[in-house]
Amino acid sequence: MAVKLTQDDTPANPNPRMVNPNIPIHVPPASTPSHYDQLLDTYLDTLTIEAGLAINTLAAYRRDLKKFQHFLEQAKIHDLVNVTPPTFMEFLEYLRKAQLSPTSVARCLAATRGFFRFLVETGELPGNGPQIPRAPKAWERLPKTLTEAEVMKLLNLPVGTSPEELRNIAMVELLYATGLRVSELITLELAKINLEVGYVLATGKRNKQRIVPIGDQARDCLVIYIRDARAALLRTQTSTILFVTRRGKPFTRQGFWKLLQVMGRRAGITKPLSPHMLRHSFATHLLEHGADLRAVQMMLGHADISTTQIYTHVEQARLKRIHTDLFPRKHRM
């Protein structure tokens, strides 16, 4: 599907492929929302639910992506399928010449890269989309995680006997035990779990499947939920989905995010809690306890090991501890 951009009253650029960096970066208000604006709203809603970004960060991403939209309009590119890698190099140069800080430039690139990845994954753009320059390493930050103590506070909340409470703790236990994406959790089918052996068959991005083991605690919670709660939630309805609402319907990402927020407050966790934070915590805690980075990559469903390398700070710290503890000449004679 072609993504059209809105027109504005920006003076015509004599060279439509080069944008004048001397023109101040100003995003004019649109009279009516464009398809681009609608996609932008949907993308930011997705970031809110899946990544738990702060309001100020989301506002900054919106400004960055509106800058990119305005840049394309000045460059006379009115369809996102016509955006190419050189377009992003021109955008990068445009931002630098506009004297934006390195941090602001890096954030613009990060926002634009994520937006285009979203457009490809939702079918708005064909193929893999254009290659976008990576952000400077100074902008790359460590993933936000919970400590093991905070996770235990969340998982050790008192659980009643209502079907909703049994379902809620089973969902959170499984999310932490497997590192699933929230979209994978809420679409997980009952037939895709094997409680006897102890694993789930997760379907990730681009319908790629992977087997992820689950621990005894998560397995016990699933057994109780399936035996004592799922039928009560479904009532007279049927569903292939493992986790259902009290109306017998599958969860939405927003619904699970709200559930997690409530549980976090009950547990006394003050950090902005999101499903993706539990996914990061799963990976971080595995590495802290000696897991191999490649194994973590497979369990997370990362196509490229470079994606998993955001956790290398954990691996480096662990190796340093091993060296300190085991190296025979760590002390001077």
Among the options 181, 253, 280, 285, which is catalytic? 181
The span from the CA of 317 to the CA of 333, in Å, is 26
Angle at 104 between CA 100 and CA 107, to 5 degrees: 145
Contact (CB, 8 A) for 203 and 212: no
Q: What is the DSSP letter of 250?
A: B
The span from the CA of 264 to the CA of 217, in Å, is 19
- Dig out the tokens for 31 from the structure: 């009279």
Q: Which of 242, 278, 273, 243 is nearest to 258 (CA)?
A: 273
User: Does 205 participate in catalysis according to the annotation?
Assistant: yes
| Helices and strands of the chain, counted as H and E runs | 14, 3
Among the options 61, 94, 176, 311, which is catalytic? 311
For the chain, the maximum distance between any two Cα atoms, rounded to a whole number of angstroms, is 77
User: Does 279 participate in catalysis according to the annotation?
Assistant: yes
The span from the CA of 221 to the CA of 214, in Å, is 11
DSSP 141-170: -PPP---HHHHHHHHTS---SSHHHHHHHH
User: Does 330 participate in catalysis according to the annotation?
Assistant: no
The span from the CA of 316 to the CA of 267, in Å, is 31
User: Does 181 participate in catalysis according to the annotation?
Assistant: yes
Contact (CB, 8 A) for 42 and 119: no
Among the options 205, 208, 271, 289, which is catalytic? 205
Buried b (16+ CB within 10 A) or exposed e, 230-245: beebbeeeeeebbbbb
Helix extents (H) in 127-268: 148-155, 163-178, 182-186, 216-228, 230-234, 253-266
Annotated catalytic residues are 181, 205, 276, 279, 302, 311
